[in-house]
């Protein structure tokens, strides 16, 4: 894209700057539209499972319901509690929303369609996603209210607990792919399953890792059955209790952008990302653009997220902590040993 703007007569510095801004907008604006639409899809899936109709009034098939909700919160008054720390109270949702967008800089939508194709892409995502907890903790503390503070403490413990397991699980993927570059990981999955299937999920050693990663992603994004930070029967609305108007909307946008990010990571790390499902030429798979395959896989995982939320009851907090520390952490460490041992025996020929 930089070369394109240079061809219009710009020098390299201005061409790079304009190309970078254009790339950011090409990711951020469709992402915001996607968030609006997946909220609609989320509600439709919940309704279908509960034998209800869901949004069906605003626009054809209720498609404009999310935009109507967005307009409603935009026109509402922003109320700040008198005892709150006003500066931190307003900064917290901005932090949550901004951090949710930053991680998308390294998500590849095609072989060349990525804003920042860096060698440590996966480590960048892990680092950025870990910053999201700051917005939640700051909002709970700045509200100067009992229930938001309890929710912030829960969120901090929950996200730290499952980030540890996610980190170890990602080490297994990096070991097998031999790189932490996102496109490199996708290319390592080409024909991985018997030379036909594109994806690490077909690997008997990596399939359990994907299952643990999917469950940890649900916990990391505080989705049901791990939505202890917003447990309405205990904490009203959790850390969002004192928020209204656009500050409340920013939390929602950040939450769903994070959910989409975790769906994208599931697709990229274990299901071939922008690659077609099968590595065969009998069907013209490769004539379909890579971003369509990636979006289809993201939608599949989002459906799983919605399905789980609509059907699985909420965990108790002790069950949540037990799963993270006593089950996933030992298992993730065990799989690091198994994966590295297998690679040393087969790929690097230690036995010889």
**pLDDT tens per residue across span 262-311:** 999 999 999 999 998 888 877 777 788 889 999 999 999 999 999 998 88
Residue 316 has pLDDT above 60, yes or no: yes
pLDDT of residue 351: 46
Closest C-alpha among 143, 251, 245, 267 to residue 200: 267
Rounded Cα distance between 5 and 3, Å, is 6
Evaluate whether 262 touches 221 at the Cβ level (below 8 Å): yes
**What does DSSP assign to residue 325?**
I
pLDDT of residue 349: 59
Rounded Cα distance between 249 and 78, Å, is 11
Report in angstroms the alpha-carbon separations of 229 from 167, 212, 225, 247: 22, 21, 11, 18
Query: Collapsing DSSP states into helix, strand and coil, what is residue 165?
Result: helix
> Where are the chain's structural domains?
76-348
Closest C-alpha among 205, 216, 215, 122 to residue 164: 216
- Segment 147-172, tens digit of pLDDT: 888 888 888 888 888 888 999 999 99
**What does DSSP assign to residue 323?**
I
Binned at pLDDT 50, 70 and 90, residue 338 comes out as very high
Residue 125 has pLDDT above 70, yes or no: yes
pLDDT of residue 292: 92
Residue in this structure with the two tokens 């071939």, named with its chain if needed: 272
pLDDT of residue 332: 94
């Amino acid at each position: 894209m930089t070369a394109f703007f240079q061809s219009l007569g710009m020098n390299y510095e201005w061409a790079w700057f304009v190309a970078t801004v254009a790339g950011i907008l090409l990711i951020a604006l469709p992402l915001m539209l996607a968030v609006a639409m997946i909220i609609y899809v989320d509600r439709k899936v919940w309704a279908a499972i509960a034998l209800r109709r869901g949004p069906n009034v605003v626009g054809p098939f209720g498609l404009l319901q999310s935009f109507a909700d967005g307009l409603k919160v935009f026109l509402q008054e922003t109320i700040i509690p008198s005892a709150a720390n006003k500066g931190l109270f307003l900064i917290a949702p901005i932090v949550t929303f901004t951090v949710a967008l930053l991680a998308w800089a390294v998500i590849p939508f095609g072989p060349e369609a990525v804003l920042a194709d860096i060698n440590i892409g996966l480590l960048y995502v892990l680092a950025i996603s870990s910053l999201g907890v700051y917005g939640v903790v700051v909002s709970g503390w700045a509200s100067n209210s009992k229930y938001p503070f309890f929710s912030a403490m829960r969120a901090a413990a929950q996200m730290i607990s499952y980030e540890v397991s996610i980190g170890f699980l990602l080490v297994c993927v990096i070991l097998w792919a031999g790189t932490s570059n996102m496109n490199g990981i996708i290319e390592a999955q080409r024909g991985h399953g018997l030379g036909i299937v594109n994806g690490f999920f077909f690997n008997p050693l990596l399939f359990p890792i994907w299952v643990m990663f999917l469950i940890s992603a649900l916990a990391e994004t505080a989705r049901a059955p791990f939505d202890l930070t917003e447990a309405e029967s205990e904490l009203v609305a959790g850390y969002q209790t004192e928020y209204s108007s656009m500050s409340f909307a920013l939390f929602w946008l950040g939450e769903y952008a994070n959910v989409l990010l975790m769906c994208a990571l599931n697709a990229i790390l274990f299901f071939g990302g922008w690659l077609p499902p099968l590595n065969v030429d009998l069907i013209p798979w490769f004539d379909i653009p890579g971003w369509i395959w990636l979006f289809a896989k993201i939608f599949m995982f989002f459906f799983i997220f919605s399905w789980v939320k609509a059907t699985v009851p909420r965990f108790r907090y002790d069950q949540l902590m037990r799963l993270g520390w006593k089950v996933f952490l030992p298992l993730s460490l065990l799989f690091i040993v198994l994966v590295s041992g297998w690679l040393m025996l087969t790929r690097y020929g230690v036995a010889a």
